[in-house]
Amino acid sequence: MTDREDGGSDDLILDLAVLETVVRVVIDGDDQLRRRIAQAWHLCVTDTAEMTFPQERTVHVSARGLTAEELTRAIMRLTQDVTLAAVRSQAGRYLMLHAGGLCHPVTGAAIVYVAPGGTGKTTLTRTFGPGLAYISDETIAIGPDGTMAQYLKPLSIRQPDNPAVKDEVPPGSLGLRPPSVQPWVAGVIVLQRDPALADGIEVREVGVLDAIATLSPEISSLASLDRPLRTCADMIEAAGGLRIVRYAEATQLESLVRTVVGSVR
Amino acid sequence: MSGPLVVRTTRVLDELVTDDGAVLLVSIADGHRVLRVSPLAQAVRELARDGMALTDIEREVALRFGRPPTSSVEEAMAVVVESLVEQGVVTVAEG
């Protein structure tokens, strides 16, 4: 899959509204594959004629001659390609964190949970998402005023018997719903899962400079922003600081999640 | 005959300074990196913006921060400056 301009005449098209841009998916395959991708990305599929955002990037997925597992892997890679395309498209416009986010369905108060891949974002999203509104489980884009662009991607969930392969699961099938109000950053935490942690959770607040240093490996295209470090500091201060949270199981974070999304501006 | 060692601050992409020190955004081979810098190390960078002899920096830092409890100013500064050189945010050369 590459970032070519156009597909061939037999290719199928799917436009996805992600991070306030549109990524066009060109599908070299049959309509069954298109339906499978559309189902996984059901919260992002947009009608070309009714696009709210500009279509800026194109990614390709090919299913010709693939086995069932190869096809699953291709759809998994498609998610990575769409993420990369969206992030590249918005470089310099948003502060983009490798993070998940959920918000209060009425107020939009959002908790942003930052973590490297495979360390808890999707589990937290599945645990607390139902009943809140889903913003992303992969990339959180924050504007200068603290509001957030949605990235309502499928959840990438490892297959129990083959952890190297992830299924792209439609958010709706997990009880996740998109925000009906504009989300804003009410709190930012860094997830540090430690299954050996005996009981409770450990929460450590860090100063703004340490917060920037902690978050920086999980920020995309930082140098593309205007005054990048000041932008990070402003976001962290507006969110009430950064907390590093050690925990064993996602359910232990319930009180923290409820407190943050219960914030008011 | 060699001249005094002169420390000179190198240009970074961005920096944010507070009473707690600084963070610096620097270029690396495959992108960029954020460095956390202590108040003392940031003082060295600020003193060396236009280049300053290491001995003058040692004297100025001792005035601002006091003498270290367990080593000489020269020994303490050698550690700080060496770290800054390794991170590519100052250079040291004979003046």
Find the CB nearest B34 among A208, A212, A227: A212
CB-neighbour burial class of residue B17 (10 A; exposed 0-12, middle 13-18, buried 19+): middle
The token pair at A205 is: 């607040």
Q: What is the pLDDT of residue A8?
A: 52
Q: What is the pLDDT of residue A30?
A: 83
Q: What is the pLDDT of residue A63?
A: 82
In a 3-state reduction of DSSP, which class is residue A158? Answer: strand
Q: Is B26 on the interface with A (CB under 8 A)?
A: no
Q: What is the mean pLDDT of residues A202-225?
A: 96
Q: How many CA atoms lie within 13 A of A193 on its CB side?
A: 19
Residue A208 to residue B34, Cβ atoms within 8 A: no
Residue B14 to residue A207, Cβ atoms within 8 A: no
Q: What pLDDT digit, counting tens, does each position of A35-76 carry?
A: 999 999 999 999 866 667 777 799 999 888 888 889 999 999
Residue pairs between chains A and B whose CB atoms are closer than 8 Å = 44
Mutate to test the interface with B, among A98, A209, A219, A227 (most CBs of B within 10 A): A209
Q: Is B93 on the interface with A (CB under 8 A)?
A: no
Beta strand pairing call for A21-28 and A12-18:
antiparallel
Q: Is A237 on the interface with B (CB under 8 A)?
A: no
Q: Which amino acid type is present at position A12? A: L
A99-112 burial by CB neighbour count: b if 16+ within 10 A, else e? bbbbbbbebbbbbb
Q: Is B16 on the interface with A (CB under 8 A)?
A: yes
Which of A179, A152, A185, A156 has its CA nearest to residue A168? A156
Backbone angles phi, psi at B88, to 5 degrees: 80, 20
Which of A137, A133, A177 has its CA nearest to residue A153? A137
Q: Is A84 on the interface with B (CB under 8 A)?
A: no
Q: What is the mean pLDDT of residues B71-75?
A: 92
Cα–Cα distance measured from residue A33 to residue A251, given in angstroms and rounded to the nearest whole number: 36
Q: Which amino acid type is present at position A28? A: D
Chain A closest-CA separation from residue B2 CA (Å): 39
pLDDT of B76 > 60? The answer is yes
Using CA coordinates, name the residue in chain B closest to A227. B14
Residue A209 to residue B18, Cβ atoms within 8 A: yes
Query: Helix B73-86 vs helix B39-47: angle between axes, to the nearest 10 degrees?
Result: 80
Share of chain A above pLDDT 70, in %: 95
Q: What is the mean pLDDT of residues B6-26?
A: 97
Q: Which amino acid type is present at position B52? A: M
Chain A closest-CA separation from residue B32 CA (Å): 7
Return the C-alpha torsion angle B75, B46, B32, A149, nearest 10. Answer: 130
Beta strand pairing call for A184-193 and A242-247:
parallel
User: Which has the higher per-residue pLDDT, A188 or B67?
Assistant: A188
CB-neighbour burial class of residue A115 (10 A; exposed 0-12, middle 13-18, buried 19+): buried
Q: What is the pLDDT of residue A2?
A: 42
Q: How many CA atoms lie within 13 A of A205 on its CB side?
A: 7
The secondary structure of residue A198, as a DSSP letter, is: -
- Cβ neighbours, 10 Å, residue B1: 2
- Cβ neighbours, 10 Å, residue A96: 25
Find the CB nearest A227 among B14, B20, B31: B14
Using CA coordinates, name the residue in chain A closest to B13. A223
Q: What is the mean pLDDT of residues B36-57?
A: 97
Which of A155, A41, A146 has its CA nearest to residue A103? A146
CA–CA distances in Å: residue A115 to residues A78, A153, A214, A224: 21, 17, 11, 21
Q: What is the pLDDT of residue A3?
A: 44
Chain A closest-CA separation from residue B50 CA (Å): 23
Radius of gyration for chain B, computed over Cα atoms and rounded to the nearest angstrom: 13
CA–CA distances in Å: residue B78 to residues A230, A251, A255, B45, B94: 30, 49, 48, 14, 15
Radius of gyration for chain A, computed over Cα atoms and rounded to the nearest angstrom: 18
Cα–Cα distance measured from residue A244 to residue A107, given in angstroms and rounded to the nearest whole number: 25
Q: What is the pLDDT of residue B90?
A: 97
Cα–Cα distance measured from residue A230 to residue A242, given in angstroms and rounded to the nearest whole number: 15
Which of A119, A117, A107, A28 has its CA nearest to residue A74? A28
Q: What is the pLDDT of residue A49?
A: 65
Residues in chain B closer than 8 A to A207 (CB atoms): 20
Q: Which ipTM did the prediction report?
A: 0.92
Structure pTM?
0.91
Q: What pLDDT digit, counting tens, does each position of A122-164 carry?
A: 999 999 999 999 999 999 999 999 999 999 999 999 998 988 8
